[in-house]
Amino acid sequence: MQKMSILQKVLDTGVVAVVRGASKEEAFKAAEACIEGGVKGIELTFTAPQADQIIAELKAQYQDDAGVCIGAGTVLEPTTARIAIMAGAEFIVSPSFNKEVALLCNLYQIPYMPGCMTITEIQTAMTYGSEIVKVFPGSVVGQGFISAVKAPFPQVNIMPTGGVNLENMSDWFDKGVVVVGAGGNLVGPAEKGDFAQVKENAKAYHARFEEIKQGLNR
């Protein structure tokens, strides 16, 4: 049940912010700004310094907000995956598929969202228990890839990351994705310390998703 409830939280967020950072403080404040702006799905990448500590601190700060879902990104192997899970990560995201990470996540009932860009990779990920597959990089494979994949695999749940912005977000959902990952277009201002702008961006992304959701429910 844990895995299913986490997956539902991810789907409810609609947008997962891909948070990096040159420092622990930058990454934490960027994630905080996203959550305060309404984007409550956070993929805290392990390219950020002390990523596991950031995850633990975010979990503690937002423990009373049931809508907040903190996961770990750029997880390349099972050791990092376990560190992330022990820190409280609710989902694991990778830029590519790793069998050992998939098996570890299955053991702990944690959703694993590996990056895939071929039909074979997607089938492998699904075989190893990935309920949501990250199509990455979205800017390279394009939206037409989603339609092509959904033909033989109508049951696959896709999260495109890379190339998603406010202008084309609805187009991705029209193609059949279930959630989107947003990086630089959302959290980019954090690099200059402009966390207020990150919060404003998050408000815009959240509002756009709410509009899209209403259209999907008609």
d(CA 23, CA 164) in angstroms, rounded, equals: 25
d(CA 70, CA 154) in angstroms, rounded, equals: 28
With contact defined as beta carbons under 8 Å apart, do 42 and 57 qualify? no
Measured CA to CA in angstroms, residue 70 lies from 9, 88, 167, 210 at distances of 10, 8, 25, 20
Measured CA to CA in angstroms, residue 161 lies from 1, 122, 178, 184, 205 at distances of 26, 15, 12, 11, 14
With contact defined as beta carbons under 8 Å apart, do 25 and 59 qualify? no
d(CA 35, CA 199) in angstroms, rounded, equals: 8
Q: What amino acid positions are annotated as catalytic residues?
A: 43, 134
| Cα dihedral across residues 77, 128, 174, 217: positive or negative | negative
